Amino acid sequence: MGRLMGKVAWITGAARGQGFEEARLFAQEGACVVMTDIIDGITQAAEQLRETTGEVFAFRQDVTSEVEWRCGAEEIIQRYGRIDILVNNAGVTSRTGIVATTNEEWQRVMDVNAKSVWLGMKSVIPHMQAAGGGAIVNVSSIYALVGSGASAAYQASKAAVHLLTKTAAVEYARSNIRVNSVHPGIIETPMIADMDEQRYQILTEGTPMGRLGQAVEVASGVLFLASDEASYITGAELAIDGGYTAR
């Protein structure tokens, strides 16, 4: 306990799934947690955590809006005086292939999954520099590392997060800002709730550990990279995938 004591952490897409578990673990480890999401349930999610953990603050955020990023950062600075950790967790999925993907779907997925990560870092890094450093964890995917044969926009967006993370890590290493990416495998979250049984079985059998991951298993990896335990790790990718990308 206390691995993030006194730190202020901003987590996007935190109303449910991986984001909620990240917020829960961060709060348990002593962080002041700022939870944001575009869905209205973000307020209820924060209230749920306040019952059992420490300082939790939440507001609704569209991560594709530069104005909302800037205003959110200003609000957090006014409230807490600093931003030590940013977790770019918000994302959407898409399972259509190259030919079937429309212009509109491509743009939507790229905006939420990739543009938002750039906007988040752009908004928060100056505050981290002013404070003397910080840690950023960008949630990518195993499908930034291997092909799936489908999900064209999703894979392109998560690959963008992967390399954007590396270039940010190099650019801001001398500012004591660490930037790493997490690459979850197939995780049992609301994002895969509509997956049919046949696809579920294929993915399970294709994972060497023989099961899908849990949101808290991803959150634990994010917690490690955000903590001072990872003080000499930047520009790295952490696959949390039951061995999927090891094949």
d(Cα 91, Cα 110) in Å, to the nearest integer?
Answer: 10
- Continuous segment of H or E residues that includes residue 155: helix 152-172
Q: Phi/psi zone of residue 60: left (φ > 0), alpha (ψ -120 to 50 degrees), beta?
A: beta
Q: Per DSSP, what are the bridge partners of residue 179?
A: 136
Neighbour tally for 186: CB within 10 Å: 24
DSSP letter at 228 equals G
Q: Any idea what the Cα angle at residue 7 is, between residues 3 and 10, rounded to 5°?
A: 110
Q: What is the DSSP string of 10-41?
A: EEES-SSHHHHHHHHHHHHTT-EEEEEESSTT
Look at the alpha carbons of 164, 170, 171, 174 in this order and tell me if their dihedral is positive or negative. positive
Question: Which one from 143, 154, 172, 244 is the annotated catalytic residue?
Answer: 154
Q: Per DSSP, what are the bridge partners of residue 177?
A: 134
154 is catalytic: yes
d(Cα 127, Cα 99) in Å, to the nearest integer?
Answer: 42
**Residues 106/154, Cβ–Cβ less than 8 Å:** no
Q: Per DSSP, what are the bridge partners of residue 136?
A: 86, 179
Q: Which residues are catalytic?
A: 154
